[in-house]
Amino acid sequence: MSKIYDVIIIGAGPAGLSAGLYAGRARLSTLIIEKAKDGGQIVQTAEIENYPGSLEEESGPTLIERMSKQAAHFGAEKVFDTVLDVELQGDVKTIKCENGTYQGKTVIIAAGASPVNIGCPGEKEFTGKGVSYCATCDAAFFEDFEVYVVGGGDAAVEEAMYLTKFARKVTVIHRRNELRAAKSIQEKAFKNEKMDFMWDSVIKELKGDGLLSSMIVENTKTGEQREIVADEEDGLFGVFVFIGFKPQTEVFEGKLALEKGYIRTDDDMKTEIPGVFAAGDVRVKSLRQVVTAAADGAIAAVQAGKYIEEHE
């Protein structure tokens, strides 16, 4: 614990790796702490078409591999460890993990957020093979196919309407008999000729041979189950899940100002604690994409460097 880093980054997704690249390139001693594997949600994405400059046949893993190498090339160190507690006040911040304790002059929190899952058999196996949690990312892959959207809130209905630009039919599956979305959003959805609604229903199982091609749906009132099978000519359909996101901020509760679990920052990624920044999906923001996460990380690292200069 003798070394005090200039920058400690929590999380090695696009935001964290971008921050590591910028901090390392600025000759700041940098440590990235990641609990599992680099990439966060994006490593589950089979194809990426909307990240500027991405290669043909780009995937989440290939993009993250290059980001990781870049950050390491510019000197960012990395440890795989789980954060248990943090002390963010004062000139030196302390991050307590399972396997060690680390100290830094600044901290960039890029721990990300994860979608709330359906929790049914087959969901994990078909993620990226028919199951998606991001319409902006994957809608184009379902051009002229049928897709199903799970959820009934604002995000679910808005994403379902977005999907009608690509899919030939979009069916919203909701566990209740009415939507939770704002009335203005509902009115637009009900007028959309490409949208349908499956009320009082939940998905119990997702199935297929390599790609998602069938699912078991249960009526929440009667308990009756039925199987929905993909059109024979299509051979597959999409299921987009929008039942909420869970920011990875439990360890920061009581330490930072949170809004529905997300960390509040200004446009420079600064939190209310001097020297503590947040970047990517973990913070309050309107768009959660790889490109915005990378931008957040770059801004946070530059601002961390300025903070250090001002406090030397």
DSSP codes of every residue in 158-180: HHHHHHTTTSSEEEEE-SSSS--
Residue 168 confidence (pLDDT): 97
Contact indicator for 239, 131 with CB cutoff of 8 Å: yes
| Dihedral angle computed from the Cα positions of residues 215, 288, 175 and 127, in that order, rounded to the nearest 10 degrees | 20
Residue 250 is given by DSSP the state G
Contact indicator for 9, 110 with CB cutoff of 8 Å: yes
Spot the catalytic one: 134, 200, 234, 267. 134
pLDDT of the chain, 312 residues: tens digit per residue: 579 999 999 999 999 999 999 999 999 999 999 998 888 777 766 677 788 988 877 888 899 999 999 999 999 999 999 999 999 999 999 999 999 999 999 999 999 998 899 999 999 999 999 999 988 889 999 999 999 999 999 889 999 999 999 999 999 999 999 999 989 999 999 999 999 999 999 999 999 999 999 999 999 999 999 999 999 999 999 999 999 889 999 999 999 999 999 999 999 999 999 999 999 999 999 888 899 999 999 999 999 999 999 998
**Fold (CATH) for 4-114+245-311:** FAD/NAD(P)-binding domain (3.50.50)
Q: Which residues of 277-312 are buried (b: 16+ CB within 10 A; e: fewer)?
A: bbbbbbbebeebbbebbbbbbbbbbbbbbebbeeee
296 classed as catalytic: no
Spot the catalytic one: 6, 38, 81, 138. 138
CATH architecture of 131-241: 3-Layer(bba) Sandwich (3.50)
Residue 46 confidence (pLDDT): 63
| pTM exceeds 0.85, yes or no | no
The token pair that represents 137 in the structure block:
């990312």
- Amino acid identity of residue 141, one-letter, is F
Spot the catalytic one: 6, 81, 137, 296. 137
CATH 3.50.50.60-classified regions of the chain: 4-114+245-311, 131-241
CA distance 174 to 40: 28
Contact indicator for 60, 45 with CB cutoff of 8 Å: yes
Contact indicator for 208, 130 with CB cutoff of 8 Å: yes
120 classed as catalytic: no
